[in-house]
Amino acid sequence: MSRLVVVSNRVAVPDAKGAAGGLAVALREAFEAYPGLWFGWSGKVAAQPAAQPRLVDKGRVQYALMDLTSIDRQEYYSGFANRALWPTMHYRIGLADFSRADYAGYLRVNRTFASALARLLKPDDLIWVHDYHLIPLASELRSLGVTNRIGYFHHIPWPAPEVFATLPGSTQLLRAIMSYDLVGVHTERDADNLRRGLVQEIGAVQHKGDVLELGDRRALVKGFPIGIDLAGFQAAANRSSTHPLVRQTIAGLGSRNLIIGVDRLDYSKGIPERMESFERFLISNPDQRGRVTYLQIAPTSRSEVPEYAELSRAVNDTLGRINGSLGEPGWVPIHYVTSTYPRPVLAGLYRLAKVGLVTPIRDGMNLVAKEYVAAQNPADPGVLVLSKFAGAAQQLTDALIVNPNDKFEVAEAIQVALHMSLEERIHRWSRMMKTLKSQDVSWWASSYLNALKSRKVHGPARSKVKIAGTTH
């Protein structure tokens, strides 16, 4: 039986309680179907990391953990991945900070990972690489003679070709993409952007069935919208009302309506813009003052990256200004917390909220939108207000779809959501639930892996696809 070999920037080894993070939840069922290996960064920094990973066996999965040097971490992770690729992929080219040293570090870590991984591979392993930290990995593996099927899943948006082309190194990365047999993105919009980029920027030829050809390589580029563990999330939401933190929130709210936002503290999520939309809603609807509370949960993320520290300051300024100018004794309009809540509490808070505000400026998919819908009480569901720039908007067309840059439009949607009839809320919610049911997380993993298995294997090792050139 083939093994599934997952490669991702961070490896999520289940802890003593068996708790699992986002990608681990997504891959749980895939690892039920295949025995597996999960390879990637341990999250640790060492002065002289070992060339081979530390192996940890847990059930059907073996975890292979690589340490990085602090320079690796700085250049590969905080630098090129999070200060150049992340903003560019999210259309924020003004925030992109390219450095040749960071790019060289990114390529170096990918090469180190490839040579450590190559030694662990068996001929019929299916290799599934995740996310923008590891775009060059397949190219490096091919150059070491690896001929296995290799798939890549890109969890964030793929921008229009003219945006991606602004990034130095972008054509090398597009060439590297061609070393994969299957490239998955969340939406057809992203797939189309990537296919156009491959044709326009590196001269790939597009064949029927969305297969791109360059030299002796053929890559299929296709949308596979990620889903959630619907049943698991619903069960957590059903049980949630007994949780002390949820009860405390219910007591604190009194008769006020709750609006909720949940996001990593990231500039792609549109948090200060959302706060200003809520401010606009309160100014336009003075009768709502004191009758509604907006809770924003925003766990801090990537705080070592300067743009994130700057965002944190901007959010605090906006929050202070709005609460200071519109708050009253006994009522704070926006409650803002940066700690991480346990998943069952999150499910309970979603369920309490009359409105889920999910208004990213750009997002590959956005799982919060799906979790909010899943957590609702079927007899009295809340309303999802969703940015047209989240991948989720392509599927959840029964949400109130908004342009997150238009504060008046978002404010109006909040007003409509709070006044929507029960009948319309149930109608919209039921239709969204159908999609969440038919395209849940196990559907996502199995449809991706079936497509990867169906790709033809292309003979012996190919010549190396050159991606370096700037490695020093």
Residue 259: CB minimum distance to ligand GDG, A: 16
* Shortest distance in whole angstroms from residue 49 CB to ligand GDG: 26
The least distance separating ligand GDG from the CB of residue 391, rounded to whole angstroms, comes to: 6
Closest to ligand GDG by CB, 43 vs 299, is 299
Report the distance separating Cα 222 and Cα 369, nearest Å. 22
Could you give the CA distance from residue 51 to residue 183 in angstroms, rounded to a whole number?
Answer: 28
Active site residue 363: yes
Question: Of 348 and 381, which CB lies nearer to ligand GDG in the complex structure?
Answer: 348
**Candidates 72, 131, 363, 398; catalytic one:** 363
Tell me how far, at minimum, the Cβ of 347 lies from ligand GDG, in Å.
9
In the bound state with ligand GDG, the residue whose beta carbon lies nearer, of 145 and 342, is 342
CA distance 293 to 257: 6
Nearer to ligand GDG, 89 or 433 (CB): 89
CA–CA separation, 165 and 407 (whole Å)? 30
Whole-angstrom distance, CA of residue 11 vs CA of residue 23: 9
Q: Closest by alpha carbon to 257, among 434, 20, 419, 48?
A: 419
Task: Tell me the closest approach of the beta carbon of residue 263 to ligand GDG, in angstroms.
Answer: 6
Spatial CA neighbour of 122 closest among 173, 171, 62, 162: 62
The phi, psi pair for 176, rounded to 5°, reads -65, -35
Catalytic residue among 133, 155, 186, 243: 155
> Which residue, 8 or 293, has its beta carbon nearer to ligand GDG?
8
Tally DSSP H helices, then E strands, for the chain: 17, 16
Nearest approach in angstroms of CB 325 to ligand GDG is 28
**Closest listed residue to residue 336, CA positions, set 262, 281, 413:** 262
| DSSP H or E run through 406 | none
Distance CA 342, CA 346 (A): 6
Whole-angstrom distance, CA of residue 236 vs CA of residue 243: 11
- Nearest-angstrom CA–CA distance, 302 and 70: 15
Length of the chain: 472
Which SS3 state, helix, strand or coil, does residue 287 take?
helix
Backbone angles phi, psi at 125, to 5 degrees: -65, 140
Contact set with ligand GDG (CB under 6 A) = 22, 155-156, 226, 262, 264, 297, 299, 340-343, 346, 363-368, 371
With b for 16 or more beta-carbon neighbours within 10 A and e for fewer, the 178-214 pattern comes to bbbbbbbbbbebbbbbbbbbbbebbebeeeeebbbeb
Respond yes or no: is residue 192 known to be catalytic. Answer: no
- As a whole number of angstroms, the distance between CA 154 and CA 129 comes to 9
Question: Residue 28 has which token pair?
Answer: 């749980």
Residue 75 or 263 having the CB closest to ligand GDG:
263
Of 223 and 299, nearer to ligand GDG (C-beta) is 299
Q: Closest approach of Cβ 22 to ligand GDG, in Å?
A: 5
Residues with catalytic function: 155, 363
